[in-house]
Structure 1
Amino acid sequence: MLLISLRLTIAIIIYFLFFQKNYLNPSGAVPRPLFWFLQKNQNGGLKMKRINLRDYYPFYQSDFFVEVADEIALSLKCFKLSENAYRLRTYRQKAYYSLDRGDGIEQEIVFISLSPQEIYERRVTNHELYTAINSLPEKQAKRVYAHFFLGISKTAIAKADGISESAVRESIERGLKNIEKFLKNFR
């Protein structure tokens, strides 16, 4: 939620500063300055409002006051009101848990903790697999590793090596067969 707040604040400021396309006043005759929304007060200075960033960003441990334009302060206030309305809506509808909740509830339900024996078996299996890959010829090992571990497509491997895709495909298939033979002899 904090990241969304930061992104929204930045987006609002960028919108007001750079992407406001209507530089003309309603009559269309006299062009407005680029920062037309920053109105001036009686002394010629900008109308500014003093806000406490601690109210908007929970990671501030102490009060931090800054002065911002009235329009930006209003936008921040509107966002805070909409966020509070969202919280109230989730409370009323008893939608306490969502998939983007950050406290790990979904992970605990989905992730089943492994026993020490299962952890050991996984380590041994990974060690055997890496030993089998290391037993391959250098080109086969690189191609198998690039395709299956790094997720690089066979065409990309072929372009990088300067050979045809069919040669890469055959090399990977031969590498898999050699890994299978090695693992059968290893156990």
Structure 2
Amino acid sequence: MRTKMCPTDVRLLVIRTRPKPSKPYRYFLVFTTDLTLEIPQILQYYQHRWQIETAFRDAKQQFGFSGYQVKSRKSINRFVQLSFIAATLTKLIFSMPQPTEKLINVKTVCEDLGIHWYHPKKLTQGLRVAYLKAQIRDHRFSTSSTENTNSQNIQTFVQQDTTLPLDKAA
């Protein structure tokens, strides 16, 4: 296939699915300029490409990738790298075998977050981040381990964080 907008030969793959018999067909179009690829290869490449797209979306939405407020090129590069490191570590935490009896799965995460109206098939990055934030918040500011009040726990937490070396260039 060739168009005025694209003078190069393009192969168009049309995928038709029907989620349920009562629902209408859905069509999905995939284009490629490599005319030698077989259909399974095209689909596999697109699946890999889609994972990259969702990784960028997650980095933007959950880890502030698109909301940086630094101006120097070096600082922007650091910020982008740290955003992707945070996203990668989040995925690693949920893919590691759990030594505890409580497995981290969709049901556990939704129960711990008090979500009873949403039942996804797999953990989304948003659920992972919300779960980790809740775990950190509950651990750092809980009074179950000591008799300190929450304000004392928060004060201790702030004092511990201020001793970290800060990069003034960023």
- Shorter-normalised TM range: under 0.3
Which structure has more helix as a fraction of its residues? 1
Q: Give the TM-score normalised by the residue count of structure 2.
A: 0.27
TM-score, normalised via structure 1 length = 0.25
